[in-house]
Homo-oligomer: A and B are copies of this chain.
C-alpha cells in the first residue's frame, strides 16, 4: 500500500472521518456509538474506522466485539514535522532571494558567488 504520510493525508481528506476524529478526541467510543449521529449505515462507519486505523490515527487495543476506538495523537506529529519542513524551506528560500537581490545590487565585481546548493 502507500506510504504512511499518504495514508494519513488520504484518511483526513474525508469530512466524516475528520468528524470521527473530533469526537474521538473527546472520548473513546464504539463503532455503534460513532455511527449513531450519521445517516449512513454502521458498516460504512466501520469502514471509515478501518481507514483511520490503517493510517495509524486510531487504535483498538480491545479484544471484544464492542471494543472502543481510541485516538492516537502521536501521528499528528508526523504531519506537523512534514508541514514544518515546508515552512522552513520557504523561509530559507526567501532569505536566499534577499541575498540574491542584495548581490545584484552591488554586483560590480564578478567574484565567486555563494553557490551553496542544498543536497
Contact = CB atoms under 8 A, between A and B. Distances in A.
Task: Identify which of A2, A12, A15, A85 gathers the most chain B CB atoms within 10 Å of its CB.
Answer: A12
A22 to B, nearest CB: 8
Given A9-B9, A13-B9, A90 B117 contact: no
Interface string A50-63: 00000000000000
B27 A2 contact: no
Given A9-B10, A22-B85, A29-B117, 7 more contacts: A6-B18, A9-B13, A21-B86, A22-B89, A27-B93, A71-B86, A73-B86
A117 B23 CA distance: 12
A79 B76 contact: no
B10 A6 contact: no
Contacts of A90: 25, 71, 73
B71 A76 contact: no
A101 interface: no
